Amino acid sequence: MRKEHCCDTMRARIAPVCDQHPDPWDCNKALMVYWPREDAYGIMNRIEGERMTSRIRFCRWCGDPKRDLSDARLDALEELGIDWATDPVPEDFQTDTWWRRRGL
Ligand SMILES: [Zn+2]
Ligand SMILES: [Zn+2]
């Protein structure tokens, strides 16, 4: 299932239309990352060749609040008796399926 992002600017900054840079990190039009698994957004920081991201709480363009389901995901795994550090993580939990199924 595709995520509807909050605004056109966010959409363009996550997936810029660019045929020169298959890797968004190489494209200076790409500024944001979306992680479906945690329904979280981050800003791309390119510092001296390092690729780092920091999660954001609001869209910087339209102000839409953003969440981060990392903790909820680990809690849900724990409820299923799965130790995410050592057990194989079910396929649902590797994508956005787990939180969509739970109506989160
Ligand atoms: Zn580009
Ligand atoms: Zn937005």
The pocket of ion ligand 1, defined by CB under 5 A, consists of 18, 20-21, 27
Give the whole-angstrom CA distance, residue 90 versus residue 35.
Answer: 17
Nearest 5°: CA angle at 34, between 30 and 36? Answer: 150
Ligand nearest the Cα atom of residue 21: 1
Q: Is residue 96 part of a domain?
A: yes
- Whole-number Å distance, alpha carbon 19 to ligand 1 midpoint, is 7
- Which H/E stretch holds residue 11? helix 8-14
- Whole-number Å distance, alpha carbon 49 to ligand 1 midpoint, is 17
Q: Is residue 85 part of a domain?
A: yes
Query: How many domains, in total, are found in the chain?
Result: 2
Q: Is residue 61 part of a domain?
A: no
Give the whole-angstrom CA distance, residue 31 versus residue 9.
Answer: 10
**Tens-place pLDDT, residues 4-33:** 999 999 999 998 999 999 999 999 999 999
pLDDT at 15: 87
